[in-house]
Amino acid sequence: MKIETIDFFYLSIPQVRNIGDGSQDCLLVRIRAGQQVGWGECEASPLVSIANLVCPMSHSACRSPLDAVLGHRIDSPADIHAINHRVREIGLDIAQTGHTLSGIDIALWDLLGRHQGRPAHELIGYSKAYPKRPYASQLFGDKPQETLEKGKAMRQAGFTAVKFGWGPFGRDLKADRDHLAAAREGVGPDVELLIDAGTVWVDDVSEAARRIEQLEAIRAGWLEEPFVGTAVHAYGELAARNSSIPLAGGEGASHPDLARQLIDFGGIKVVQIDTGRIGGITPAKTIADYARAKSIRYVNHTFTTHLALAASIVPYAGMSEFDLCEYPVEASELATHLTIERLSRDNNGRVHLPDAPGLGLTPNLATLKKFLKNVEIRVDGKTIYSTPPI
C-alpha cells in the first residue's frame, strides 16, 4: 500500500482548565492508504504539532514528517520502522518532532494491522497479549478530605492499585503529609498506593528527599517524577540517597534515548512510557525490551483516551512480567467518548487489548464533530493547513 493522506484533527473541550488534566484536548491522527484507514493520537499541544506537520523546510535536518511518510509504502513492520527512522532524521532540528511522529507511528501500526487483519501487538512481535492489572490514575484533591474520598471511591470500584498526582502536592511538607495520609486512609491498607509528584521539585534533590519518610509511612509503591524528565543527575542522586521508595519516570521522554538515560544513569526502577510522546509504538517497544534486559519495570503512561490507552499497552502487551497498567479514571467527556469501543475491566478487574485488527478502536464521529476545532494556517496567502473533513 502507498500512504496517501495524513490528517490531523484538533479536538478540545470548550473550557480548558489550568490543572494537570491532560485529557482536555486531543490531537487525533488519521492515515489513509488504499482502502485502509489507521488512527493514532499525539499527546502533544495540538496546534504546535499541526504546525510541525505542515511547516516549510528550513534546511535538510529541519523538515516536516510529511516528506518521510506521504507517498511511501507500508507493507510490513519494517516499513514502519524505516519511516520512524526517517522522520527523526529529517526532523532532527525540530524539537517537536517526537511528539508529532507519535500519532503518525501509532496510526501506521493500526493501519497495517487492519490491512493484514492482525492486532498491532502481533505485528510488533508478540504471540499473545496478556491482560494488565489497571491502576486508577487520578489527581490529588484540592484538600486532603477530597483526596480521601477519591481514594475510597477507587477502592470501592475494585481497583487494587491507585495513583494520586499533581494538584497541590509537593509545595508544603505539612500539607503533603496530610494528603498522603488521606490517600492511604481512602484506599485502605491493602491497595497498592502510588504517588506522582508531577515534576514539582524540578531538579531539587533535597526537597524530594524530605518526602521519603512520608512516603515510607504510607508504604508508597513508587515516587513518580520527583523531577523533570531531563534531570537525570537529580534522579541519580535521589536514587543513591534512598533505597526504600522506587523511583518512576520517563513519561516526558520524546525520544527513546531520554528514557534510556533515566534507566542507565537516573536509577529509576519503573520506566513509564507515553506512546503519544516518545515517537509512537516503535520506540516504546525498544524501551520495553531495554527495561526487560535491565530488569526494571515497564509501565505505560497515559491519562487520556482509550485509543491512547490501547496504543500505550501494545509495546509491552506480550510481557507477562510487566502486569500493571495506568488506567485513566477521570478523563474528560471528550476523552471518554472519543472511541466507540473501550477497554473495560473484566470480572477479575483486568484490562484486555481488543481482540481485533490494528488497535481495535474506532473514533466516534459524533464526538469528533462535537469537539472539533477549526484551524487554518496560511503562509504568504497560501493555506497550508485547514481542518480536514471528518
Residue 95, Cβ density class (10 Å: 0-12 exposed, 13-18 middle, ≥19 buried)? exposed
Closest CA to 161 of 250, 221, 249, 225: 221
Report the nearest approach of a second copy to the CB of residue 196 (Å): 12
Helix 281-293 vs helix 256-264: crossing angle, to nearest 10: 20
How many residues of this chain bind a second copy (CB under 8 A)? 70
Residue 37 CA to residue 95 CA, distance in Å, equals: 28
By the rule CB under 8 A, 232 interacts with a second copy: yes
User: Grid coordinates representing 21?
Assistant: 488534566
Distance CA 329, CA 296 (A): 26
Total residues belonging to the chain: 390
- Is 112 in a helix, a strand, or coil? helix
What are 32's strand-pairing partners?
5, 37
Over the window 146 to 185, marking each residue x when it contacts a second copy by CB under 8 A and - when it does not, the resulting string is --------------------x-------------------
Nearest residue (CB) to a second copy, 379 versus 390: 379
The 184-223 contact track toward a second copy, x by CB under 8 A, reads: --------------xx--xx--------------------
Binding of residue 11 to a second copy (CB under 8 A) = no
Choice from 47, 153, 175, 356 touching a second copy (CB under 8 A) = 47
Neighbours of 93 (CB within 10 A): 12
Task: Kindly state whether residue 24 participates in binding a second copy, applying the rule CB under 8 A.
Answer: yes
Q: Which three cell numbers stand for residue 306?
A: 482509550
Asked if residue 264 binds a second copy (CB under 8 A), the reply is yes
**Binder of a second copy out of 89, 142, 172, 213 (CB under 8 A):** 89
| 368 forms part of the interface with a second copy (CB under 8 A) | no
Contact status: 54 vs a second copy (CB under 8 A): yes
Between 87 and 129, CB nearer to a second copy: 87
Contact between 32 and a second copy per CB under 8 A: no
The set of cell numbers assigned to 183 is 490517600
> 271 exposed, middle or buried (CB, 10 Å; 0-12, 13-18, 19+)?
buried
Residues forming contacts to a second copy in the complex (CB under 8 A) are 10, 12, 16-22, 24-25, 43-48, 50-52, 54-63, 85, 88-89, 92-99, 166, 198-199, 202-203, 228, 230-233, 252, 254-255, 257-258, 260-261, 264-265, 277, 373-381
